[in-house]
Structure 1
Amino acid sequence: MKYVYVIACTLVVLFTACNEVDPKNEDDVRAFVKRWNENHTQLKAPFLQRYYMDRVAYYGKERTKREVTQDKLVLFEQFPDYTQEISDGEMSIIKEDGLYLVIFTKNVKYGGVTEEYESYLSILLKNGDYKIMREGVADDPKNENAIILPKFRETVIAKTRNRQLFGDFNGDGLSDYAYINGPTLLSDTAQSNVSETTAICKGDCTSVIIFSAPDLSPFTIENAYKSNLENLRDLNGDGADEIGFWNIKPTTKSLYIFDAANSRLLTPPVVINTAVHKNLKLIDVLKKSGPKKITVTRSANRNGTWVLESEVVVLD
Structure 2
Amino acid sequence: MSADLVTLGETMALVRATEVGSLEHVTGMRLSVGGAESNVAIAARRLGASVAWIGRVGDDGAGRRITRELRAEGVDVHAHVDDGAGTGMMLKSHPSATTTEVTYGRHMSAGSRLAPDDLPADVFTTARIVHVTGITPALSASAEAAMWDALDRADAAHAIVSFDVNHRSRLWRDRDPSTLYRAVTARAGIVFAGLDEARLLVGGGTPAQVARRLGELGPAATIVKLGAEGAVAVVDGAELWVPAVPVAVVDTVGAGDGFVGAYLAATLAGAPVAERLALAARVGAAACTGPGDWESYPHARDLAHEGPLDPVQR
Give the TM-score range, shorter chain.
under 0.3
Q: Return the TM-score normalized by structure 1.
A: 0.28
With the length of structure 2 as denominator, give the TM-score of the two structures: 0.28
| Greater helix proportion | 2
Q: Which has the higher strand share?
A: 1
